[in-house]
Structure formats: C-alpha cells, structure tokens
C-alpha cells in the first residue's frame, strides 16, 4: 500500500502519523486516510477537495501535477509526502 507522510508542522494542530492506505491515485489514498482522520482533511484540502494554495504534495519525490482532482497515479510502493509550501510564510 502507498505510504503517506505529513509535514511535522501539521502535527501540533491535528495528529497525522505516517499511514498506509489503499488507492491508485492521490485522491483515493488521501480519501482513505482522511476517512479515519476527518479533521486533517481541511488542513490539507480546501472545501472543494483541491490542495490548499500553500500546501504541496510529492509522490516519490515528484510534485503532483493535478492539484484540483488529485488524479496523479500512485503504485503500492509509493511514498506520498504532504508538505508546506514556502510560499505560505
């Protein structure tokens, strides 16, 4: 299963431990993670499910291209990093 790792700075607002979850796209994996950690969803995604303006997501070291629908593909060995963009201050 893909593994999701969250920025350390999110932890003081909502605990987000590294998690493995099923899915073949970033959307599917994150949905699976947020189903069991609903509060974290709003810290990473906006009310329409897009990546927040000053958040970034990497798959195996490459930034995702689709920040709106999160359709970028993942494989079972993928590591997904949910990080802060420096643009957010």
What does the per-residue mask of binding to another protein show for 4-43, with x meaning CB under 8 A?
-----xx--x-------------------------x--xx
Nearest CB to another protein, comparing residues 38 and 77? 38
Whose CA is closest to 40, among 3, 68, 82, 69?
82
Q: How many CA atoms lie within 13 A of 34 on its CB side?
A: 16
DSSP code of 88? G
Among 18, 48, 62, 68, binds another protein (CB under 8 A): 48
DSSP states of 37-62 as a string?
-HHHHHHHB-TTSPBPTTEEEEETTE
Nearest CB to another protein, comparing residues 44 and 70? 44
Report how many residues bind another protein under the rule CB under 8 A: 17
Nearest CB to another protein, comparing residues 21 and 55? 55
């Amino acid at each position: 299963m893909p593994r999701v790792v969250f920025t350390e700075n999110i932890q003081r607002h909502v605990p987000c431990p590294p998690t493995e979850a099923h899915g073949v796209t970033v959307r599917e994996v994150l949905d699976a993670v947020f189903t069991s950690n609903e509060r974290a969803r709003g810290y990473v995604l906006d009310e329409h499910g897009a990546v927040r303006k000053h958040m970034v997501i990497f798959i195996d070291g490459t930034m995702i291209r689709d920040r709106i629908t999160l359709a970028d593909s993942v494989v079972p060995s993928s590591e997904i990093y949910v990080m802060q963009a420096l643009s957010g201050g």
